[in-house]
Amino acid sequence: MPEPVNSSDAPHEMATNVGPDHVDIAFQRMGSRDAPVVLLIMGVAAQMIHWPDAFCNALVNSGLQVIRFDNRDSGLSSHIRDAPAPNLPAVLAGDLGTASYNLTHMAADTVGLMDALGISSAHIVGASMGGQIAQIIAADFPHRVLSLTSMMSTTGNRSVGQVSPFALREIFGNPPGPSREDVIQHRVKVVRAIGSPGFPADESEVAARAALAYDRAHDPVAMARQAVATVASGDRTARLRTISLPTLVIHGLADQMCDVSGGRATAEAIPNAELVLVEGMGHDLAPGLRVRIASLISDFVRRAEGQEQSH
């Protein structure tokens, strides 16, 4: 039985000069090096530690190798310091002048990490913004992808997958104060707003993870740069139609951060995609969901592995 990972004390490794932009990417690698690789990509303002340990361990215990990492501008990976101040309202209005990068650059970072680790192809799993990055990798680097799992995500078409007015008010209506405790309590409030009503969060765990994330790297401007990059990347629907890889789309029916219409549109755009809608699931991997979602993914990966071997 593999040793379980614990994000509070698991050592990270660093891949340097990754991808065309030569960023440094912090990562953790779990499971047997001989097992199929599942590469996990996180969302805006999230770090690799936001992939819950129980979820990662469930994947490893199902016989998979798991790699999670900090995107650029998050955690211990490179933060883009010499960039214009991000202006989200301007980007929403069509002025991309403050977008210092977009999701295509982040997709290239991810493929660059695979290059650095000597991984020729992997099963790509992304959540929220990470799902959008995963979609781009599948469209632009299909030879590097064995399967695609897009969770809690959308197509980039602004008519679908929108945040609810309630979540907007809760997240942005009263920004956190500057202190560590302010940031931690704001995160608990956010999870109350966008979490899974059918699968309650453990708020002490949410607070502990928020504290760890703050201590690893608290960079609000970097978070805004990621948000701007997401909007600046535009509508991917036409690109999604070119994907011919095994694809699983998972979305919660109670998602307040990315409406379920985003998941439905993603599955509709990608030929032969499998759509799984989860009653009571919001925009998180709550304790009651972790093993269930990991099982969905591991079963799907096994089926994709079987298809690959039959070719």
What pLDDT does residue 79 have?
A: 97
DSSP helix/strand/coil, 74 = coil
Q: What is the pLDDT of residues 228-250, one digit of tens each?
A: 999 999 999 999 999 999 999 99
What pLDDT does residue 310 have?
A: 61
Q: How far is CA 206 from CA 45, 146, 183, 212, 234, in A?
A: 14, 32, 12, 10, 31
Q: 273 with 249: CB under 8 angstroms?
A: yes
Would residue 224 be called left, alpha or beta, if left means φ above 0 and alpha means ψ between -120 and 50 degrees?
alpha
- Grade residue 193 by pLDDT with cuts at 50, 70 and 90: very high
Q: How many residues does the chain have?
A: 311
Residues 6+ apart with CB under 8 A from 234: 156
What pLDDT does residue 175 have?
A: 86
Average pLDDT, the chain: 95
Residues 6+ apart with CB under 8 A from 118: none
113/92: higher pLDDT:
113
Q: What is the pLDDT of residues 155-169, one digit of tens each?
A: 999 999 999 999 999
Instruction: Pick the closest to residue 236 from 161, 176, 169 (CA basis).
Output: 161
Domains of the chain (ranges, CATH numbers):
13-162+219-310 (3.40.50.1820)
- Grade residue 1 by pLDDT with cuts at 50, 70 and 90: very low
Task: Tell me the mean pLDDT in the region 194-214.
Answer: 97
What pLDDT does residue 283 have?
A: 98
Task: Tell me the mean pLDDT in the region 277-303.
Answer: 98
What's 24's DSSP letter? E
Share of the chain above pLDDT 70, in %: 96
SS (H, E, C) 138-202: HHHCHHHEEEEEEECCCCCCCCCCCCCHHHHHHHHCCCCCCCHHHHHHHHHHHHHHHCCCCCCCC
Task: Tell me the mean pLDDT in the region 57-71.
Answer: 98
